[in-house]
């Protein structure tokens, strides 16, 4: 049997589990939003804790909170930052669009925990969730600030380093494969020769550019809406509150957070988050291309392309013995698909910046953070379990190159486009090699050796 205590909010009484740190508004949100069972992600709880911790200290410095109250709030908020109170945050992601339920969940938890630190009973409101913990704040500026802090930290500490590592792994493969000649492909058909190292250098550059775009386009997250309170005017907050609180957050996180230059833009729109999500989608598209290419180049091993040899990380079939599947590539491709879908959700939510507030923020924050987390883990797993053990089948590359009719392209300057086309058709029809037909056509043998040298076709002529 669960024992309950009675707490009150502006709508009346609510039964709250006796030992719960949250209060009436959280209990009401639990009743109102039994939607997904998905609570706020840990990075958001950490960010909310950071805001409340440094808000209390700033308010003490401004003479608005006593030292005892501010210290108790700060200590309780630090426990939120450290993840010690995560079980006290049950509010569903699919809640009020401003994140008010989660902001009040945070306020109530910190207020009750701070009261207990001071020897006061739960629900006493000796430290008040609104008057003390939320002093100088509104859900409308706290929740988006928490989204931006959480996203920035996850990008800087997880995804961007994962991309840097992937770039190094691809660059290493480019160097390893620098002398492996293979056939190029355009429109899924044979094209002129290319080096496998050149292919991987293209992949490395894709990742480098994805990192660069993500870094640039996420920089808007450093502008925090904190200080705008309800509609951007800063009502009920000290004029120095935002600058002091944000500076302290920037110092603790070692990230360049600053107060929004225009609070009406910062609260009415979420364009910085939209830009970040768009770059996450672009990153996912690049990764999908790379992983899909590797998957196809490793197809076979005997009846496909087979130019790459995948490391065997698990049996590929429950019915076909010896089968090895490109499971790491498939895993990352599914991650990419989810991230692309998440961006569609974020974009639709971004349309709901009605007048002075966006009213779909919780799901925006959830999707952004999920995209960052999935990409971070997916990239790391793919790099470690696929790329590092990836090998080139040099014999297969050479055999396919020799069979290709696309080598005829090198004969065009010598015999003309039309005659080269005829030779390609004859080779395909008769099964003869291009070399044999070119010799019959009167091309000098020594000259032909130079023209049909695959390596010379992979570099621009001087």
Residues annotated as catalytic are: 187, 317
CB atoms near residue 2 (< 10 Å): 8
- ∠ CA 300-303-304, rounded to 5°: 50
Q: 281-297 b/e with 16+ CB inside 10 Å = b?
A: bbbbbbbbebbbbbbbb
Could you tell me the end-to-end alpha-carbon distance of the chain, in angstroms, rounded to an integer? 85
Q: Minimal CA–CA distance to 265: which of 235, 224, 236?
A: 224
391: β partners: 309
Helix 271-297 to helix 361-382 angle, to the nearest 10 degrees? 30
Three-class SS state of 64: coil
Residues in contact with 315: Cβ distance below 8 Å, sequence separation at least 6, in sequence order: 323, 324
Residue 31 CA to residue 101 CA, distance in Å, equals 11
Copy the structure tokens of residue 258: 């600053």
Question: 339 burial class (0-12, 13-18, 19+ CB within 10 angstroms)?
Answer: buried
Q: Minimal CA–CA distance to 61: which of 119, 115, 135?
A: 135
190: β partners: 185
Residue 29 CA to residue 283 CA, distance in Å, equals 36
12: β partners: 9
Residue 362 CA to residue 273 CA, distance in Å, equals 12
Residue 299 CA to residue 306 CA, distance in Å, equals 5
Residues in contact with 131: Cβ distance below 8 Å, sequence separation at least 6, in sequence order: none
Residue 223 CA to residue 227 CA, distance in Å, equals 11
Look at strands 181-186 and 189-195 and give their pairing.
Answer: antiparallel
Residue 457 CA to residue 444 CA, distance in Å, equals 19
Copy the structure tokens of residue 362: 């919780």
Q: Minimal CA–CA distance to 259: which of 280, 238, 236?
A: 238
DSSP state of 353: E
């Amino acid at each position: 049997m669960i024992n309950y205590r009675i707490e009150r909010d502006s709508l009346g009484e609510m039964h709250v589990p006796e030992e719960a740190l949250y209060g009436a508004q959280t209990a009401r949100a639990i009743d109102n939003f039994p939607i997904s069972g998905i609570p706020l992600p840990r990075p958001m709880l950490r960010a909310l804790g950071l805001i409340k911790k440094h808000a209390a200290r700033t308010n003490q410095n401004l003479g608005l909170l006593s030292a005892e109250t501010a210290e108790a709030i700060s200590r309780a908020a630090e426990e939120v930052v450290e993840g010690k109170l995560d079980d006290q945050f049950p509010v569903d992601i699919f809640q009020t669009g401003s994140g008010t339920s989660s902001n009040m969940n945070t306020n109530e938890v910190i207020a009750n925990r701070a009261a207990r630190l001071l020897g006061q009973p739960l629900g006493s409101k000796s430290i008040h969730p609104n008057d003390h913990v939320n002093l100088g704040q509104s859900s409308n500026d706290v929740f988006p600030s928490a989204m931006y802090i959480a996203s920035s930290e996850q990008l800087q500490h997880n995804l961007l380093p994962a991309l840097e590592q992937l770039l190094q792994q691809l660059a290493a493969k480019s160097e390893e494969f620098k002398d492996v000649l293979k056939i190029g492909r355009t429109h899924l058909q044979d094209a002129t020769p290319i080096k496998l190292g050149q292919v991987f250098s293209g992949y490395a550059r894709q990742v480098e550019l994805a990192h660069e775009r993500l870094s640039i386009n996420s920089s808007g997250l450093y502008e925090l809406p904190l200080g705008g309170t309800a509609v951007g005017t800063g009502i009920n907050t000290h004029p120095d509150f935002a600058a002091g609180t944000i500076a302290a957050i920037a110092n603790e996180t070692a990230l360049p957070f600053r107060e929004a230059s225009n609070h009406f833009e910062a609260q009415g729109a979420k364009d910085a988050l939209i830009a970040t999500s768009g770059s996450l989608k672009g990153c996912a598209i690049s990764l999908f291309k790379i992983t899909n290419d590797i998957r196809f180049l490793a197809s076979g091993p005997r009846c496909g392309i087979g130019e790459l040899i995948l490391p065997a990380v698990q049996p590929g079939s429950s019915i076909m013995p010896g089968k090895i599947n490109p499971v790491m590539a498939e895993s990352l491709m599914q991650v990419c698909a989810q991230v692309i879908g998440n961006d569609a959700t974020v974009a639709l939510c971004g349309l709901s910046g009605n007048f002075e507030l966006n009213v779909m923020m919780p799901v925006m924050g959830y999707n952004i953070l999920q995209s960052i987390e999935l990409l971070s883990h997916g990239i790391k797993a793919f790099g470690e379990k696929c790329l590092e053990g990836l090998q080139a089948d040099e014999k297969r590359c050479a055999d396919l190159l020799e069979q290709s009719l696309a080598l005829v392209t090198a004969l065009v300057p010598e015999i003309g486009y039309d005659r080269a086309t005829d030779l390609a058709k004859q080779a395909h029809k008769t099964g003869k090699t291009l070399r044999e037909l070119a010799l019959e056509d009167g091309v000098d043998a020594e000259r032909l050796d130079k023209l049909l040298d695959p390596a010379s076709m992979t570099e621009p002529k001087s």
